[in-house]
Structure 1
Amino acid sequence: MILRTWHIDDAEAALGVYGNAEVTRWLSPIMEQVPDLPAMRLLLRQWISEDARAVPPVGRWCIQRREDNSVIGGATLLRLPPGNQDLEVGWHLHPDLWEHGYASETMFALAGWAFRHEVDELFAVVQPDNVQAAETVRENGMEWAGETDKYFGQRVELYRLRPADLDRSARRADLPPGFGAQ
């Protein structure tokens, strides 16, 4: 897979992810299901604009499958409210591509990017019923940090990853320009 910046031309494929109720049910309350193509284009414009002003490692990226260059999802490193001190790692894939290793590959690429920018720890915020996401973060070295209602005003499970926890055997993904790929 390749992580790259979003483009307006990605709107149709992005709608396949962010317009899918199976995906967005796990993103509430921070994001609702995108209803149509014009709304997806508008959201992509917003993300592109925000990313242009973001200070690395914060950002949003398109996940593109290398074999056929298809857009299969999105990835994020975003500051968590309140206070914007904690950094959350996230990924959103089309349900047809769940359990194919793309979430793990994305997580490792983003963690490596964040840790090269002197981030001390990353968090994954998981809704209690999202068994698949909880399993993915645990399998990839994230440690249970408890439950909290600190973020988004609802009870969530919190997982943490520190540089020393990062599995050195992780496959390396292609990274967008500026990610520091060697």
Structure 2
Amino acid sequence: MAKPEQHRVSVTGNRIHTNRLVLRPWSVDDAAKAVAVYGRSEVARWLAPAMSAVDNEAAMTAVLQRWIDECSALEPPAGRWAVELAGSGELIGGAAVLPLPPDGVDLEIGWQLAPAHWGRGLATEAGHAVAHYTFTQGVDEVFAVVRPRNTRGAATARRVGMEWVGERQKYYGLTLQVYRLRRGDLDLPTIPASASAPHGGRNQER
């Protein structure tokens, strides 16, 4: 398998940095901007488990608070992150590393971007970021799950360097396309051992 484009990845405190992005913990203050991501049906319809479009700030605040509470109980490298543009600080999406049901043994990487930012390779960069970080925490493989007909999500998984495992009904009680990335298939950047573990959902666009 050809190696995907290499991205610089580093961790500072609870933030993950790439060439163009900063991944940092969610805050309920992000609700208004997060609606531009999760309020769009072309994003929400592909999520697993199913999630309706969150089209108002109050509902988004409740979702973010639930994510924050859930993350407080997760062990690294699991977590959820808001995705910002490094230059401007504009919030453009989200990324996650989460235990996959039903047994919570397999780890899923996920990413979503606001449609206005599709087509620039930013989702691939976010996927690289969470995969790199996860592999520095002693994990040997991660998975991505993509709903059938979500061609953008599948293309991004391949750009991250993931291989197609097959169509499975193992996760979420859904029929999903499953992709896998092993530690040895992704070149790891140097991340300081002293960096603290950040806590930061499913797969979308390029």
TM-score, normalised with respect to structure 2: 0.80
Three-state SS of the structure 1 residue aligned to 2:89 is coil
Three-state SS of the structure 1 residue aligned to 2:88 is coil
Is residue 2:129 matched to residue 1:78? no
Equivalent residue number for residue 28 of structure 2: 8
Three-state SS of the structure 2 residue aligned to 1:50 is helix
Does 131-140 or 77-86 show the bigger shift? Answer: 131-140
Equivalent residue number for residue 148 of structure 1: 168
Is residue 2:153 matched to residue 1:133? yes
* Whole-angstrom distance in 2 between the partners of 1:53 and 1:85: 16
Equivalent residue number for residue 7 of structure 2: none
Of 162, 179, 182 in structure 1, the residue corresponding to residue 182 of structure 2 is 162
CA RMSD of aligned residues (A): 1.9
* Whole-angstrom distance in 1 between the partners of 2:133 and 2:115: 25
Equivalent residue number for residue 139 of structure 2: 119
* Whole-angstrom distance in 2 between the partners of 1:139 and 1:179: 25
Moved over 3 A (4+): none
Equivalent residue number for residue 17 of structure 2: none
* Whole-angstrom distance in 2 between the partners of 1:8 and 1:28: 22
- Over the matched positions of the two proteins, sequence identity in percent amounts to 45
Three-state SS of the structure 2 residue aligned to 1:47 is helix
User: Which sections of structure 2, spanning at least 5 residues, go unmatched?
Assistant: 1-20, 199-206
Three-state SS of the structure 1 residue aligned to 2:47 is coil
User: Which sections of structure 1, spanning at least 5 residues, go unmatched?
Assistant: none
Three-state SS of the structure 2 residue aligned to 1:2 is strand
Q: Which of structures 1 and 2 has the larger relative contact order (alpha carbons within 8 angstroms, sep 6+)?
A: 2
Kept in 1: contact 2:109–2:131 (CA 8 A): yes
Kept in 2: contact 1:91–1:107 (CA 8 A): yes
Alpha-carbon shift at residue 82 of structure 1 (Å): 0.6
